[in-house]
Amino acid sequence: MHVPCPHVPTSVCASWHPGATPITFHAQLRGHPDLPRWLRCAQRGPYSSAFLYGSPTAAEVGTHVIEVLASNRLTYETVAQRLIISIVPSPGGDPPYQGEFLVGNRNVEELLPAAAREQFVQALSGVWEHDDLRIINVTSALDRGGRVPLPIEGRKEGVYVKVGSHAAFSPCLVAASSPQSQFRCRLGQQPLASCYDTFAPHFAIRWCNLTLPMG
């Protein structure tokens, strides 16, 4: 069954749920062997949900036809579904302030559901000191060169979450990404900031990986 995720500006997200039957999902751009570079499909196993997610740029404006193939691992039966994604320019443009956070205690599929994203935004609004926030992109740390975690219970791969706003960064965020904080990080110390535990216990932020590029 295909369940579209609620609309999130500048991002695309959809999910499929196999239920009690082991099903493997494969997605590709119509007429191509794989997905476009900005779009990814994640599924942990045949009993897990599959997520199609990504953050298109201005170069991807237009209509994209994605073909999703579901294969029953018991009967080898296959079912195909076509997903049409229409990408239009953001009416407000890209937010001028963008911050990227590394969440160390989550896997990427755990931050794709709407409830998890909303929970993250609510936690961040207290740190940013503003509620004009929107998630721009969610990326597995493995896609950034991170290592596959050891097979120990509770170990996660980590997720980069980029958030944008029209509101300036709070003093706490500025301090956490300052040159002094980066120096402390190189020494193996915590950066200079007063908001370390704001996300706890749900999100373990790796503050030394915080980046605040201007959009």
* pLDDT for position 10: 46
Q: Are 158 and 140 in contact (CB under 8 A)?
A: yes
Distance between CA 57 and CA 198 in Å, rounded? Answer: 31
Tokens describing residue 34:
């794989």
- Domain ranges, ordered by start, for the chain: 2-87, 97-209
Provide the token pair at 93.
């443009």
* CA trace torsion 215, 204, 41, 85 (10° rounding): -40
Bond preceding residue 201 cis, omega within 30 of 0: yes
Q: Which of residues 134 and 20 earns the better pLDDT score?
A: 134
pLDDT tens, 155-209? 899 999 999 999 999 999 999 999 999 999 999 998 887 776 778 889 999 999 9
Residue predicted with more confidence, 95 or 5? 95
Domain 2-87 listed as CATH 3.30.1360.30: no
What is the C-alpha R_g of the chain? 19
**pTM recorded for the entire structure:** 0.82
151-155 mean pLDDT: 69
What one-letter code names the amino acid at 138? V
Encode pLDDT of 66-121 as tens digits.
Answer: 999 999 999 999 999 999 999 888 777 788 999 999 999 999 989 988 899 999 99
